[in-house]
Structure 1
Amino acid sequence: MYTVRTVPYVYFYSRDHCRYPTNSASVCWITPATKDKSIISPEYSTNFQSNWLLHNNDISRVGLGREYALQFASRGASVVVNDLGGDMKGSGKSASYADDVVNEIRRTGGTAVANYDSVTEGEKIIDTAIKNFGRVDVVINNAGILRDRKFENITDNDWDTIHRVHVFGSFKVSKAAWSFMKKQRYGRIIMVTSAAGVYGNFGQANYSAAKLAVVGLCNTLAIEGGSLNIHSNTICPFAASRLTAKLPSEVMGKFKVEDIPPLVVYLCHESCQENGGLFEVGGGWISKLRWQRTNGVVIPNASAKTAPESVQQNWDKITDWQDATNPASTSESMALSIQEINKSNNSTTEELGEEDDKNNSINVGKAMSYKIPDTEFIFSSRDIIIYALGIGMKVNDDNLQFLYEGHENFCTFPSFAAIICFSGVGNIFASCPGFNIDPTKIVHGEQYIELYKPLPTSGSVRNSSKIVEILDKGKGAVVVTEVTTTNENNEKLCMNQFVTYIQKAGGFGGKRQSTAIKQAADTPARPPDAIIKEIVPESQAALYRMSGDLNPLHIDSQFAALGGFPRPILHGLCTMGYATRHVMKHYGDNDVKKFKSMKVRFMRPVIPGQVLITEMWKEIDRIIFQCKVEGNNTPVVRGGYIELNSPNEVAISKKSLAITTNALQSSIIFERMKKEFLANPSIINKFNCKYLWNITNEKGQKVVSWVIDLKSQNPSVTPGSTSTAVDCTLTTSDDDFVALATNKLNAQKAFFNGKLKVSGNIMLAQKLENLFGKSSKL
């Protein structure tokens, strides 16, 4: 593996063209012709009116630290200027370096305080920021000393002193700030490395090791802090300072310290979402570096005595940079390695002949003719709420209808359909004759959901499953399964289609093209019409497991490692749930009646802690979407769409509600109320409140709601829900409502017997007699 960097531009970088420096001497080149290019337009503002900055060491009167301090202070940041005041070897101490910079900032109207502690006492430095400014938003770990010697002459003290300042100091200051940044859910940390750390340099083994260590520290902080909005990046600067004082002036004259801060200022601004990056900067030139590695070669029988000879024979392939890859994380690194190993194993298996048939085989005739037994799924409001939390819903006004069983519009989120049907397919490959396959080779490829009516919030449903297609894809097979879900009245609720890929199960001579798979959408060529970003919490996969998918891959790190992942991954259907939320919130007003159908194709897993990005395109009633994770442009979900019901279809749904309403005895009384209130608008003077009355069937399931508005100038009684707050919510069965209205049931007794449920302002329930009035005399 080797580092790659982008072709350099001033204040700009591109991933499309890369160069490959091999030592620190090849780093110092810039492109003066591009000096007028800037990522910061005249309209762009990187001011820090409410942020407080801390940075340390190498302040000096001409150093980088001084320039950082001046730049941030000039943009409104309050600055803690920390410098021990020693020489480049770390000896001595002086307050003048920090004091001079603080005074310079104050003379220009800025805010700054000095701190003279060593970075190894990071708590004291952070304490200065907290005591003076109440918070800390930015840390620049700029401390640095040199003790250059040839490797053979380095003493233990030379090694320890360098690492204590560069590595331990960066750790201590960042660690002290971390808890404050975590609490405020904001922070920016800058590590400072060197070309000697990235490429190595003669006479600097101790310094090189320390400077590469801070890159590793930054990479891990970026991973751990990403979900907390704490972003960490590393810069590799080249500019004149105390540490470069011995270099020729004609060389250093081209690398001014003033050229470094623009990158640091941008990386620390709240608008910058870069996290875990490594940048070279100097002379006005900025470039991003990344790791690169060859495709490599798998050595068969690597433990054999002849393995070294195999390495020798394959050396040209091992070091061939053509078609190189750029892993950006340990999971990508491991996944790419496993991919190459699997390719090699597939080739070996094909050469051996029958192993695929022995371990993974499908008898299409047996599988297709098998009648899968129906299954029952029983759920309650508790399951609805756990699922909603499992797909990332937060407790706020937008989501309360999915999270609170007492909400006037409590309902089931549409993608819960994938949970309802799961009992119909969960064990299909183990129980269905004709499948002799390794369960670790099964991959959930695509999902389609179609709703025929909004899902109930509780009840018992029946799942009828069938295998509709088995496709031969050569090395693998595709199995298409459909599950139709019906309610207790045998009415269709929804249909799910699962497209499953089984590795090493092909080659049986079946058809290759599908006539049954619901096709994914083509992503439009134009930019997205809407984008939603959301951090996936570290605990999200553990929470989603509570909806029934208990695969240890999503919670057990050791099990995840067997699958090639550094830590547990998010369920694909959980990612689908996030995307569904984003689309329904932005384009569906969170109205479950508007949801008609959806399709997704799973491409790669999401790791909890990553930022999920949903890109959306509106095509009449179809919302096309794809999902990515921040920092990687490869989709995790693609070809997705949600079909929304047209306004006419929503109107038909409302007509069905009217039919249901007219079938209830209570509707006669509500209609009579409406007429009386219209004839006597002054009734509002007795009430001045708004009721919601839920009518249930004999099984306790809500059938219809009525809104009784006695607050407005024109009182009204209407079936359906309301988007505004109500003062009192009442729930009874249809029969009990009639009994209350006709004085055959005492309201107080009904309440204590559980026949009348009241929430909100309970005192308003005492006005029921006035509410029914003449309507009770039927």
Structure 2
Amino acid sequence: MTISFENQVAVVTGAGGGLGKTYAKMLASMGAKVVVNDYGGSLKGETGGVKNQINPADKVVNEIKANGGTAVANYDSVENGQTIIDTAIKNFGKLDILVNNAGILRDVSFGKMTEKDFNMVMEVHLKGTFNCCKAAWPHMVKQRYGRIVNTSSASGIFGNFGQVNYSSAKSALLGFSKSLAHEGAPKNIFVNCIAPIAGTRMTQTVMQQEMIDALKPEYVAPFVCYLSSKECEENGGVFEVGAGWAAKLRHQRSAGKFFPVNFTTNDVAKHWNEVTNFSNIEKNTYPDALNDSLILVLNEVLSKKGNQPTNNTMSYKIFKMFEAYMKSNPEETRKIVHKVGCVYEFQIKKNRVNPPAFFYTMDLKNGAITYDQSKTPDAIFTMTDDIFCDICTGKTNAQKSVQNGTVKVKGSISAMMKYNKDIFPPITDNMLAQELSKAVENYANGGSFTSSGPGNNDPMINMRKTLKETGLKSANMIEQIFDQMSTPMGQKKVEKVKFVYQLDLMKTKDSKPVSFTLDLKSSPVKGFMGSAEKFDAKFSMTDDDFMNIMTGKLNPQTAFIQGKMKIKGNMGAAMKFTPDLFLTQSKL
């Protein structure tokens, strides 16, 4: 494969010497028409050059022309990025490649650094790159092609003494480049960032002469030219390049430590090694995008909601019932407090393998239920959600569960002996089968429940009529989704997802939600009005925002970040729920 830049136009800033000069000459030698930009100022960026002295950009242009290439000079500061890009359009009619290389140094220790020292470096490196990209962007978007190479440095990645200003600008360019890469990808505009290691006028202040001689700019230029080519499909990358060596950088995240919601400073100190330890290779992760960075934390946070369980767990429903009973029956509560007089903490696990995910405190000294850990528990019980449910409904004997190890206990033996399922009125499966609000209301009234299970109120009955009665704008769309799921083709499209989704849609932000369930776990898959008995992910938003997401007017990720769409449950499941999963563009 022979890479050529024939019929392509490149702009290289800061190309009067060093790396920029080498980039410009190599691009021109491979067929590109090049705009050689150089302000001609000092290393500190204080002047436009020496009077009567030829601008460095002109020298480079002359060298390119002498070798049979095509180039024009531009003498603007990158503060005037629009003028630099206009030079390319005026002379060559288009722009394909932008290499942002211009820079200055004002190295000084932080204590002696002036505001001017900081602002000038930021203005040239960060704002200058922004100015040039901003001016180039419309041209690249229009032709649906572009390659942008931005310049960071090792100082921007790792920091360096005496370069707070320079490091700040170069570090900011990493985030700038990665974000711009996301926006450019659909338009075939690829943006990458390099941290070059080369002997130039700028590195003379921090390198010995022998190193400068060994680290020639010519050892970096081929890499930059490849990133500038149509053959390169890399986008959003960060690379260290120098002395013929090139490597891609990525983020590494330790396994970390999840703390309970009421953790203290002392807890942080106690577990600091877990936070900072990278030795557990199997649990280390390498986030490469915003979603990668968020998913681990969101899965934990959303499953706990600040260590408060969501209403799809039986333990949460049971404790809500206990709480309502005590509030509605103060006389009975006083009797319980007088009889027991202990504080119990319950640590509930999703399964036997994972650590506790849900925490409850049953304060039978004061007659209260809270959804967190107790600071002064008399006894602590640890078990899975299903074991807790079985104990409360009488299916499992608590004492035997302790003996066989399915329930772990800590604390006062006498406090443990006082706790049993008969403290509160009995709970049955029929009670737990009811919706949370109904179960809580009935239990608060003394435990009087009807025998009707959830099956007596089938949400599929008169579904179409009920849909129209909701008054939602998206009613027809929901009906289309249900209809599509009932077809062989629709079922085939979604059956591999294997998750249950609940949609809570509101006419306005403050109105009562209308719930829909899309059960992609069942066989066949099904959709119905009403809440899911147990969901993997739940989405809450206004009717308008749902319509905008499903029709492509609103990006789901943007909706989540802006708080327009709230998610509960498993983030991995949520990520698989996409508009094109149900409706084709033609139907919309």
Q: With the length of structure 2 as denominator, give the TM-score of the two structures.
A: 0.60
- The residue number in structure 1 matching 2:3 is 46
8 Å contact from structure 1 (residues 138, 187) kept in 2: yes
8 Å contact from structure 2 (residues 257, 274) kept in 1: yes
In 1, the alpha carbon distance for the partners of 2:488 and 2:186 equals 25
Q: Out of 311-320 and 549-558, give the one that drifted further.
A: 549-558
- Confirm or deny that 1:271 pairs with 2:231: yes
Q: CA deviation at 1:76?
A: 1.4
In 2, the alpha carbon distance for the partners of 1:413 and 1:570 equals 24
- The residue number in structure 1 matching 2:165 is 206
1:132–1:502 Cα change, 3 Å = same
- Confirm or deny that 1:68 pairs with 2:77: no
1:368–1:271 Cα change, 3 Å = farther
In 2, the alpha carbon distance for the partners of 1:338 and 1:427 equals 18
The alignment partner of 1:66 has SS state of: helix
In 1, the alpha carbon distance for the partners of 2:247 and 2:555 equals 42
- CA deviations on 1:728-770 (whole Å, 9 max, x unpaired) are xxxxxxxxxxxxxxxxxxxxxxxxxxxxxxxxxxxxxxxxxxx
Match of 1:563 among 559, 567, 578: 567
- Confirm or deny that 1:294 pairs with 2:254: yes
Q: CA deviation at 1:167?
A: 1.0
8 Å contact from structure 1 (residues 52, 135) kept in 2: yes
In 1, the alpha carbon distance for the partners of 2:191 and 2:577 equals 28
Q: CA deviation at 1:563?
A: 3.1
- Confirm or deny that 1:106 pairs with 2:61: no
In 2, the alpha carbon distance for the partners of 1:428 and 1:67 equals 57
- The residue number in structure 2 matching 1:572 is 577
- Confirm or deny that 1:78 pairs with 2:33: yes
Greater strand proportion: 1
- The residue number in structure 2 matching 1:349 is 358
Q: CA deviation at 1:163?
A: 1.0
Structure 2 regions of 5+ residues with no counterpart? 308-348, 350-355, 362-382, 390-426, 436-451, 468-475, 482-486, 495-499, 506-512, 539-544
1:298–1:47 Cα change, 3 Å = same
Q: Out of 285-294 and 44-53, give the one that drifted further.
A: 44-53
1:550–1:274 Cα change, 3 Å = closer
Q: With the length of structure 1 as denominator, give the TM-score of the two structures.
A: 0.46
8 Å contact from structure 2 (residues 502, 515) kept in 1: no
Match of 2:243 among 283, 290, 311: 283
In 1, the alpha carbon distance for the partners of 2:212 and 2:33 equals 30
Q: CA deviation at 1:78?
A: 0.9
8 Å contact from structure 1 (residues 443, 501) kept in 2: no
In 1, the alpha carbon distance for the partners of 2:515 and 2:9 equals 52
8 Å contact from structure 2 (residues 226, 232) kept in 1: yes
- The residue number in structure 1 matching 2:156 is 197
Q: Out of 75-84 and 240-249, give the one that drifted further.
A: 240-249
- The residue number in structure 2 matching 1:657 is none
8 Å contact from structure 2 (residues 491, 525) kept in 1: no
- CA deviations on 1:94-152 (whole Å, 9 max, x unpaired) are 44311111111112221110000100011110110110111111111101111111111
- The residue number in structure 1 matching 2:273 is 316
Q: CA deviation at 1:91?
A: 3.1
8 Å contact from structure 2 (residues 302, 567) kept in 1: no
1:427–1:240 Cα change, 3 Å = closer
> How many pairs align?
414
- Confirm or deny that 1:222 pairs with 2:255: no
- CA deviations on 1:472-528 (whole Å, 9 max, x unpaired) are xxxxxx5545459xxxxxxxxxxxxxx9973499xxxxxxxxxxxxxxxxxxxxxxx
In 2, the alpha carbon distance for the partners of 1:368 and 1:51 equals 68
8 Å contact from structure 1 (residues 297, 314) kept in 2: yes
The alignment partner of 1:80 has SS state of: strand
Matching residue's letter, 2:76: D
The alignment partner of 2:88 has SS state of: helix
Structure 1 regions of 5+ residues with no counterpart? 1-43, 379-385, 392-411, 420-424, 431-438, 447-477, 485-498, 506-539, 582-589, 591-778
In 2, the alpha carbon distance for the partners of 1:235 and 1:557 equals 29
In 2, the alpha carbon distance for the partners of 1:428 and 1:105 equals 63
Q: CA deviation at 1:170?
A: 0.8
- The residue number in structure 2 matching 1:56 is 13
1:93–1:573 Cα change, 3 Å = closer
8 Å contact from structure 1 (residues 239, 252) kept in 2: yes
- CA deviations on 1:546-596 (whole Å, 9 max, x unpaired) are 59x999888564336743999xx9873534479x99xxxxxxxx9xxxxxx
- The residue number in structure 1 matching 2:542 is none
- Confirm or deny that 1:134 pairs with 2:139: no
1:127–1:71 Cα change, 3 Å = same
8 Å contact from structure 1 (residues 554, 571) kept in 2: no
8 Å contact from structure 1 (residues 82, 114) kept in 2: yes
- CA deviations on 1:353-387 (whole Å, 9 max, x unpaired) are 798869x9658995578764365599xxxxxxx99
8 Å contact from structure 2 (residues 9, 34) kept in 1: yes
8 Å contact from structure 1 (residues 54, 80) kept in 2: yes
In 1, the alpha carbon distance for the partners of 2:501 and 2:130 equals 47
Considering only aligned residues, what root-mean-square deviation do their CA atoms show, in Å? Answer: 4.8
1:123–1:374 Cα change, 3 Å = same
Greater helix proportion: 2
The alignment partner of 2:107 has SS state of: coil
8 Å contact from structure 1 (residues 58, 242) kept in 2: no
1:297–1:210 Cα change, 3 Å = same
1:64–1:500 Cα change, 3 Å = farther
1:186–1:310 Cα change, 3 Å = same
The alignment partner of 2:202 has SS state of: helix
8 Å contact from structure 1 (residues 542, 554) kept in 2: no
Q: CA deviation at 1:318?
A: 0.9
- Confirm or deny that 1:502 pairs with 2:541: no
In 1, the alpha carbon distance for the partners of 2:537 and 2:88 equals 60
Q: Mapping of 1:539-554 within 5 angstroms?
A: 545-546=550-551
1:541–1:231 Cα change, 3 Å = farther
Matching residue's letter, 1:502: F
Match of 1:326 among 282, 286, 300: 286
- The residue number in structure 2 matching 1:521 is none
- CA deviations on 1:646-685 (whole Å, 9 max, x unpaired) are xxxxxxxxxxxxxxxxxxxxxxxxxxxxxxxxxxxxxxxx
In 2, the alpha carbon distance for the partners of 1:483 and 1:148 equals 65
1:284–1:546 Cα change, 3 Å = closer
In 1, the alpha carbon distance for the partners of 2:461 and 2:300 equals 40
In 2, the alpha carbon distance for the partners of 1:577 and 1:428 equals 14
In 2, the alpha carbon distance for the partners of 1:124 and 1:428 equals 51
In 2, the alpha carbon distance for the partners of 1:126 and 1:551 equals 31
Q: CA deviation at 1:444?
A: 6.1
- The residue number in structure 1 matching 2:83 is 124
In 2, the alpha carbon distance for the partners of 1:551 and 1:223 equals 13
8 Å contact from structure 1 (residues 541, 570) kept in 2: no
8 Å contact from structure 2 (residues 503, 516) kept in 1: no
Q: CA deviation at 1:51?
A: 1.8
In 2, the alpha carbon distance for the partners of 1:216 and 1:343 equals 30
8 Å contact from structure 2 (residues 79, 128) kept in 1: yes
In 1, the alpha carbon distance for the partners of 2:201 and 2:555 equals 56
Matching residue's letter, 2:244: G
- The residue number in structure 1 matching 2:414 is none
In 2, the alpha carbon distance for the partners of 1:190 and 1:136 equals 14
- CA deviations on 1:148-192 (whole Å, 9 max, x unpaired) are 111111111111111111111111111111111122221111110
In 2, the alpha carbon distance for the partners of 1:191 and 1:558 equals 29
8 Å contact from structure 1 (residues 541, 554) kept in 2: no
1:561–1:163 Cα change, 3 Å = farther
Identity %: 36
1:126–1:212 Cα change, 3 Å = same
8 Å contact from structure 1 (residues 51, 77) kept in 2: yes
In 2, the alpha carbon distance for the partners of 1:554 and 1:191 equals 26
8 Å contact from structure 2 (residues 237, 248) kept in 1: yes
Matching residue's letter, 2:285: T
